Structure 1
Amino acid sequence: MLKSSARILARGRLKALAGAAVVAAGLLGPAAAHAEKLTIIVGGMEKQIYLPAALTNALGYFKDEGLDVELINSRAGVEAENELLAGAVQGVVGFYDHTIDLQAKGKFITSVVQFSQAPGEVQMVATKYADQIKSPADFKGRTLGVTGLGSSTDFLTRYLAFKGGLKPGDYSLLPVGAGNTFIAAMKQDQIQSGMTTEPTIGQLVKMGVAKILIDMRTPEKTVAALGGLYPAASFYVQASWLESHPKEAQKLANAFVRTMRFIASHSAAEIAEKMPKDYYVGDKDLYIQGLAEGKAQFTPDGRMPAGGPETVLKVLEAFSKNVQGKAIDLSKTYTTTYVDNAAKTLGN
């Protein structure tokens, strides 16, 4: 089931009460009359970077594990993170970099399954400014679009500007979301450049509204832009929930790992056929094209890419006063235990 995040906090207390029922249901297994109910919030369900969430649901892999998973849509990853910390949901599909950012603030969340090894993000520049903005150094004096302040697009934009030799006061960041709101902001000259994902990228290019400035949709292009693989989209939970709900976490990992294998072994067109039709935003061919161009961002097995956490930490330390000077224990930001167990269960 797909829902909006608008009512989540109001239901937070009910979710907490439901936790006991989830634990009890876990003792019954997949054959139980009532599937285990879990709620996962996604930082933009329609974004291709978070495709594994809806795809797992569409393929029936949650149900195969005896789970009743409710997927709730959020405007940006930072909103999803806040819902998790409030206890309103059990898990988040969002960017791994939040695990490091939050640890610096004394809060611990853990990535259980790593969906991608590249951000899947692209820095776009409005067509009418393409001859003026040719690198991050040209962001000076400009307004740059991000999904939300404190979001991963915020982090990555700040890093690109830092690499371009700019200071925070040299440019402005404007939260404009994704999809239609991002497109409108660029059309109306509210932003001159901005970071977004597919299918918004393809729409902007097709309409002639914007051009690609920096592409981070593949591992190779990400290494060129950021200096290494950048683990991005992931499934993460509060460390305390993971410790008390290992059975539920394992079932979720089993489902997600099956999905990552499906993505690796099927074409963009075959994957698109499984997705909700409204995700195509009226242009299925363009959706497939975008997925084909960025499909390499996804991990084939849900594992954390070697050296990835170190790259993310390096990026955040470059500009984030919150992270700078903090002793970050990367081993506490992710685990491979559940993915490893899933591989043993599913076989090679």
Structure 2
Amino acid sequence: MSRTKTYSRFALSLLGAAAAVALSVSAAGTAHAADNKITIIIGGMAKQIYLPAVLAERLGYYKEQGLDVELLDTRAGVEAENELLAGAVQGVVGFYDHSIDLQAKGKYIESVVQFSQAPGEVELVSAKFADQVKSPADLKGKTLGVTGLGSSTDFLTQYLVSRNGLKPGEFALLGVGAGNTFIAAMKQGQIAAGMTTEPTIARMLKTGEAKILVDMRTPETTVAALGGPYPAASLYMATTWVDGHKAETQKLANALVKTLHFIATHSAADIADKMPKDYYAGDRDLYVKGLAEGKAQFTPDGRMPKDGPETVYKVLSSFKKTIQGKQIDLSKTYTTAFVDAAAKQIGAAN
């Protein structure tokens, strides 16, 4: 059995505090009450970049593995990360780059299943500024939207503008979430440009309210924008929890790798049919179009792309003072052990 819930940031904070106090969560995460009950928080459940986590539930793959998975929704990846650190959840569906950022602070998490090999993000510029903003260098003096301060969209935005010559203080960042809140912020002139994902991208392009400035929905366009592959969406977990719950972690990997195989072997329309109808935002055709254009971002097997961690480290260390000068062991920011085992099971089943 699996369940999907939406929690407000305040409710999640209470949940984290309660977990820390009432359960006295240890470093190994031994407070998990039921062996096969796993709570995973997603930094924006309706975002297509995080689609595999919900699709696995819709396909019945968690249940097939004997897992009781609860999916929680929150606005941004940085909020999801905080819930993991508070001990309120066992896993996060968010960007891999958090594992590098946290290791620099002495906290170890790892990508267990790598969903994507590209961010799936686009820097949109408001149609009001499209004539004067032709590259990130033209964003000087502008306010730029990100899902949340400290989020992966924050990281990527800072790198894009710095790579194009802007210095800190020459632009401003504003956390505006995604979907309707992002759209409202741009419509109301709170932001001149912003980073977002499908289906928000397709919605704004259709209305003509925004244009694409930088596209990072495919491996090829990502290399052009960032200088290398950028593994992004993943299931990441505390290393201590993974080490203490290898059987449960393997079952999760089995379900998610099977889901990624489904994505690789089915059309965008077939995948959309499996997703909750409210994720379409009232326009199924537009949802399918966005998914078709960005489907190449997903890995077919959950493995970390070659040279991906190095690119992410290069991006983060270019502007984050907390990482600069620190010795980061990239081999401890991800593991392929579980997805390799899952691949063998899928191969045997086929």
Q: Quickly name the TM-score band, shorter chain normalised.
A: over 0.9
Name the amino acid aligned to 1:99: S
Sequence identity (%)? 70
- How many Å apart are 1:347 and its aligned residue? 1.2
Q: Is the 8 A contact 2:218 2:296 kept in 1?
A: yes
Q: How does 1:100-249 map to 2 (within 5 A)?
A: 100-249=100-249
Q: Is the 8 A contact 2:93 2:235 kept in 1?
A: yes
Name the amino acid aligned to 1:204: M
- Distance, in Å, in 1 between the alignment partners of 2:12 and 2:310 is 33
User: In the TM superposition, what whole-angstrom CA distance separates every residue of 1:97-154 from its partner, at most 9, and x where no partner exists?
Assistant: 0000001111110100000000000000001100111111111000000000000000
User: In the TM superposition, what whole-angstrom CA distance separates every residue of 1:2-52 from its partner, at most 9, and x where no partner exists?
Assistant: 2123323333445948976857x54xxxxxxxxx21100000000000000
- The aligned residue for residue 322 of structure 1 is 322
- How many Å apart are 1:345 and its aligned residue? 1.6
Q: Is the 8 A contact 1:114 1:233 kept in 2?
A: yes
Q: How does 1:78-89 map to 2 (within 5 A)?
A: 78-89=78-89
SS of residue in 2 equivalent to 1:205: helix
SS of residue in 2 equivalent to 1:129: coil
Q: Which moved more, 1:12-21 or 1:301-310?
A: 12-21
Q: Is the 8 A contact 1:90 1:241 kept in 2?
A: yes
Q: Is the 8 A contact 1:5 1:41 kept in 2?
A: no
SS of residue in 1 equivalent to 2:318: helix
- Distance, in Å, in 1 between the alignment partners of 2:189 and 2:305 is 38
- Distance, in Å, in 2 between the alignment partners of 1:213 and 1:68 is 42
- Distance, in Å, in 1 between the alignment partners of 2:217 and 2:120 is 4
TM-score in terms of structure 1 length: 0.94
- The aligned residue for residue 9 of structure 1 is 13
Instruction: Provide closer, same or farther for how the CA distance between residues 108 and 14 of structure 1 changes in structure 2, counting only shifts above 3 A.
Output: closer
- The aligned residue for residue 31 of structure 1 is none
- How many Å apart are 1:207 and its aligned residue? 1.1
Q: How does 1:57-68 map to 2 (within 5 A)?
A: 57-68=57-68
- How many Å apart are 1:219 and its aligned residue? 0.4
- Distance, in Å, in 1 between the alignment partners of 2:32 and 2:83 is 19
- Distance, in Å, in 2 between the alignment partners of 1:74 and 1:107 is 22
- Distance, in Å, in 2 between the alignment partners of 1:204 and 1:117 is 24
Q: Is the 8 A contact 2:19 2:87 kept in 1?
A: no
Aligned residues: CA RMSD: 1.5
SS of residue in 2 equivalent to 1:252: helix
SS of residue in 1 equivalent to 2:125: strand
Query: Unpaired segments of 5 or more residues in structure 1?
Result: 27-35
- Distance, in Å, in 2 between the alignment partners of 1:218 and 1:14 is 39
- Distance, in Å, in 1 between the alignment partners of 2:176 and 2:106 is 29
TM-score in terms of structure 2 length: 0.94
User: In the TM superposition, what whole-angstrom CA distance separates every residue of 1:197-253 from its partner, at most 9, and x where no partner exists?
Assistant: 000000111111100010000000001001111000000001111111111100000
Name the amino acid aligned to 1:262: F
Q: Which moved more, 1:87-96 or 1:2-11?
A: 2-11
- Distance, in Å, in 2 between the alignment partners of 1:224 and 1:71 is 34
- Distance, in Å, in 2 between the alignment partners of 1:160 and 1:11 is 35
- Distance, in Å, in 2 between the alignment partners of 1:21 and 1:344 is 31
- The aligned residue for residue 33 of structure 1 is none
SS of residue in 2 equivalent to 1:319: coil
Name the amino acid aligned to 2:259: T
Q: How many residues align?
A: 338
1:253 matches 2:257: no
